Structure 1
């Protein structure tokens, strides 16, 4: 570790979830993916996020095994893909995910999107069965709009603990954050750096210069100070470290206000099957 790195204990938790994790979307090179997971864990990260659709669960599992960190210390999340949301498929593909990851259970299993084969009662019923069997410790949803989130909460016997959505200074998700707060659901931000666009923003660069930090660190600090968990994707050691060092950045109220007032420029992840497009 660098002398400037935050300690493991410096990472705050939102409920049971470490508020800074490593995202692995598009980390498709097997060796690089495994190495990035091991590097992050050795650096201090304790939250790793993957998905069936990423095609890298086995590589993430290799990284978990390579790191000198006990499994019990790691918060591991994955997601059931939209082709696999019928009840039998949820069960079968979750068990396959566990095999690929090399674990007996995952800390959090998300419904990746409320789309295609998703049926709230059938899909969530199967996840509750897995929860009761101890194969998943928590149930979450991803890319759910407020009405879909509330439906899931009503249907699921087990708590819906998190909703993972795109969130960053250019897509602040005010309405969804309010609903999550009311319902006691953690908001987890994917693409928290707006697919790299935060690095080019003048306001974020100016705030970063005042903290001797990067614009990425400022974006992650803003999310953290809003109570939002972030899982930035990074594959190289310098980027993994830069994101980790965001834990040392604390923004002033005035700086937070400046970020809140940024022009909202919309989504960077916008598939046709997204619920907001239906």
Structure 2
């Protein structure tokens, strides 16, 4: 493992705090990009059925001698016990690994009302041992309370859209109170936050890039980040976050950027 920090999950396992996201990475490019990430020091790769690149991710991980933490996700149309079991088998076979480190329900999709049944199936899968940890993505408090209330099993993480323009402080605090790690997807706001003048000022102050300042802001809040990058230079930059710290003034200024500004859909609209 590299010397980057890890987050301890509520099931006792650890997850590297900085991961390599592969959303929108074409299947034919996934293996090369993930191999590059692993060579640079990434030990956490985040994929999903919806991304259609699990096979390339698995090839890169299997080709490495390193211990890699792999996350994948169940897509919306595959919820419900039987469909979940079949979808997990497909992901398991696509990745070709001995186990999956973390399996997430990608969206709650409350209109289907299948996420509780799906969560119960995740618990079964974990007990079988082919998936080590189970969690959710894009769940709101009411969704979390329902699955925990009906099963007694708390997700290890909730992966949510989170960046300076959408800080989700109440949900993050709920996670902290209940032992749920927060994982930030789109931690740079899909690039929109890179043009923010206030962040550029902070970056100049520290001699770092705006992206590094934003990602450091996440890690100083004890959040897990999974930025996506398509070049070796950006992959290297996104991992180089631990040689500087943001002071109280920096953190307060970034806090002022919270505008409840979503890029993706609201979970209740799915």
Shared topology, TM-score over 0.5?
Answer: yes
Q: Summarize deviations over 1:210-252 as a string: whole Å, max 9, x none.
A: 1111100000000111111000011211110010012323111
Q: How many angstroms apart in 2 are the aligned matches of 1:225 and 1:206?
A: 19
Q: Is the 2:101–2:133 contact (alpha carbons within 8 Å) kept by the matching residues of 1?
A: yes
- Corresponding position of 1:22: 20
- Corresponding position of 2:57: 60
- Corresponding position of 1:90: 84
Q: How many residues align?
A: 265
- Corresponding position of 1:4: none
Gaps of 5+ in 1: 1-6
The structural deviation recorded for 1:38 is 1.1
Alpha-carbon distance change, 147 to 82 in structure 1, aligned in 2, over 3 angstroms: same
Alignment partner of 1:79 is 2:73: yes
4+ long deviations beyond 4 Å: none
Report the secondary structure of 2:233's partner residue. helix
The structural deviation recorded for 1:83 is 0.5
Report the secondary structure of 1:248's partner residue. coil
Report the secondary structure of 1:268's partner residue. coil
The structural deviation recorded for 1:95 is 1.1
- Corresponding position of 2:148: 153
- Aligned partner of 2:46 among 46, 49, 57: 49
Q: How many angstroms apart in 2 are the aligned matches of 1:49 and 1:254?
A: 32
Alignment partner of 1:275 is 2:267: yes
TM-score (structure 1 length as normaliser): 0.90
Alignment partner of 1:177 is 2:200: no
Q: How many angstroms apart in 2 are the aligned matches of 1:268 and 1:107?
A: 28
- Corresponding position of 2:226: 231
Gaps of 5+ in 2: none
Q: Is the 2:16–2:43 contact (alpha carbons within 8 Å) kept by the matching residues of 1?
A: yes
Report the secondary structure of 2:144's partner residue. helix
Q: How many angstroms apart in 1 are the aligned matches of 2:114 and 2:268?
A: 17
Report the secondary structure of 2:99's partner residue. coil
Q: Is the 2:19–2:227 contact (alpha carbons within 8 Å) kept by the matching residues of 1?
A: yes
Report the secondary structure of 1:8's partner residue. coil
TM-score (structure 2 length as normaliser): 0.93
Alignment partner of 1:100 is 2:94: yes
| Cα RMSD after superposing both structures | 1.6
Alignment partner of 1:162 is 2:160: no
The structural deviation recorded for 1:103 is 0.8
